[in-house]
């Protein structure tokens, strides 16, 4: 089986897993809904064009070329309790779909970061994206400022994430080259500095402290269809760019000198991979808060199953990340008291990180 067939096969299988995860999750909550009822609600929501109708029927109206109206109608008409329809379509589904898109983005960015740094313990926060988003969001909550286009909190988080990521890149670049070790150290330094900024802002947050802490824990409780639409317009496009560089990422695993010898424009490829990964992570963190460890756990586990070829690994890890965050968010909201999903991912990710750390060979320097 060639690489393309493997990629398609794993993608179809994991997309099916994601579909089941979404269906099951939509039925779990204070009001339990049978998965079959959820499927009926989702099918009823599907609408297709059934024809074009011209407004007006007289010859005079026709000569005035009235604007056509496209009629939409669902091909399905299952009988479902209207309460179930309201709960699924207005309350649960936006949150579930946002969790899927955020998990997709974080896992894809984590896969690229682990390949880029040739380290299974790397994740999107390694270049300061998450810290930058947190600093931007907290600054907006403490000292609200006008954000262009009315983007508000999400816009502030996105801007902070991009400033941190490209600031790290600018600091680490010298003479047109960006050594990976220098980039890593610059990321650590920027994260420490932004951590101090966030702590300072928290001290002066006053009555907004609860909201600040809630955002820093990572949450999807305020998800709406607008958030889903924005992320769906950006994440697939950015993922497509990363997927186009999957082969180059494979070659970079051999080392920069070997990659250059095989015809890869190393510095240009590094800039593109870093920039796109940073924007992808920023788009996710801006609507969800800081959700850690998704980009660490999922790519590593999927790599053990599908192998290191990024042409297969990247789409497989992204789809697995979507299912992972949908299921962890379901756990977060299924209890008597809802908790931020970032707490659940941290509870799973911290022991996994320690396992990776202990399983690696440690050498005396």
Task: For residue 158, give both structure tokens.
Answer: 């996105």
pLDDT attached to residue 70: 54
Give the Å distances, CA to CA, from 321 to 76, 100, 288, 342. Answer: 31, 8, 15, 14
pLDDT attached to residue 52: 54
| 110 neighbors 285 (Cβ within 8 angstroms) | no
CATH assignment of 3-33+81-359, given 3.90.480.20, 1.10.3470.10, 3.40.50.300, 2.20.25.90?
A: 1.10.3470.10
What DSSP string runs through 48-91?
EEEEEEES--SHHHHHT-PPEEEEEE-S------HHHHHIIIII
Mean pLDDT of each 10-residue bin along the chain, 365 residues long: 87 96 93 90 73 48 51 66 88 94 95 84 80 86 62 79 86 77 85 90 80 83 87 93 93 84 85 88 87 90 91 96 96 86 88 74 35
pLDDT attached to residue 46: 78
pLDDT attached to residue 360: 56
Helix-, strand-, coil-residue percentages of the chain, each rounded to 5:
75, 5, 25
Task: For residue 113, give both structure tokens.
Answer: 């970061």
Q: Whole-prediction pTM value?
A: 0.86
pLDDT attached to residue 201: 86
Q: What tens digit of pLDDT does each residue of 211-255 get? A: 788 788 888 888 888 889 989 989 999 999 999 999 999 998 888
For 175, which DSSP code?
A: T
pLDDT attached to residue 60: 44
Three-class SS state of 221: coil
Q: Residue for token digits 């005035």?
A: 64
56-75: buried (b, 16+ CB within 10 Å) or exposed (e) per residue?
Answer: eeeeeeeeeeeeeeeeeeee
- Comparing CA positions, the residue from 275, 246, 269, 243 lying closest to residue 256 is 269
Greatest pairwise CA separation for the chain in angstroms: 90
Bridge partners for 72 per DSSP? 49
């Amino acid at each position: 089986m060639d690489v393309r067939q493997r990629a398609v096969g794993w993608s179809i299988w994991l997309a099916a897993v994601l579909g089941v995860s979404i269906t099951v999750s939509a039925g779990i909550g204070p009001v339990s809904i049978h998965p079959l009822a959820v499927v009926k609600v989702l099918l009823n929501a599907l609408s297709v064009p059934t024809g074009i109708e011209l407004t007006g029927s007289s010859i005079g109206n026709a000569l005035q070329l009235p604007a056509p109206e496209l009629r939409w109608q669902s091909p399905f008409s299952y009988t479902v309790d209207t309460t179930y329809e309201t709960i699924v379509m207005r309350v649960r589904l936006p949150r579930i779909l946002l969790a899927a898109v955020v998990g997709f983005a974080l896992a894809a960015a984590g896969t690229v970061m682990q390949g880029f740094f040739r380290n299974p313990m790397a994740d999107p926060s390694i270049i300061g994206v998450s810290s930058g988003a947190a600093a931007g969001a907290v600054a907006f909550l403490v000292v609200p400022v006008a954000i262009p286009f009315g983007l508000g909190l999400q816009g502030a988080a996105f801007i902070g994430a991009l400033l941190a990521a490209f600031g790290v890149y600018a600091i680490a670049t010298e003479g047109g080259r960006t050594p990976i070790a220098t980039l890593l150290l610059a990321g650590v330094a920027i994260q420490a500095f932004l951590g101090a900024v966030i702590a300072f802002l928290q001290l002066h947050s006053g009555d907004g402290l609860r909201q600040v802490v809630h955002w820093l824990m990572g949450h999807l409780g305020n998800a709406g269809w607008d958030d889903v639409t924005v992320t769906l317009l950006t994440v697939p496009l950015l993922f497509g760019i990363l997927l186009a560089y999957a082969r180059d990422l494979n070659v970079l695993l051999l080392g920069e000198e070997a990659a250059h010898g095989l015809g890869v424009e190393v510095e240009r490829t590094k800039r593109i991979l870093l920039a796109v990964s940073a924007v992808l992570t920023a788009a996710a963190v801006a609507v969800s808060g800081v959700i850690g460890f998704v980009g660490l756990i999922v790519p590593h586990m999927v790599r053990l199953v599908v192998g290191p070829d990024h042409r297969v690994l990247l789409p497989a890890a992204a789809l697995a990340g979507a299912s992972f965050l949908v299921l962890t968010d379901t756990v977060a909201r299924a209890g008597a008291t809802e908790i931020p999903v970032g707490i659940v991912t941290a509870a799973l990710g911290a022991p996994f990180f320690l396992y990776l750390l202990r399983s690696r060979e440690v050498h005396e320097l």
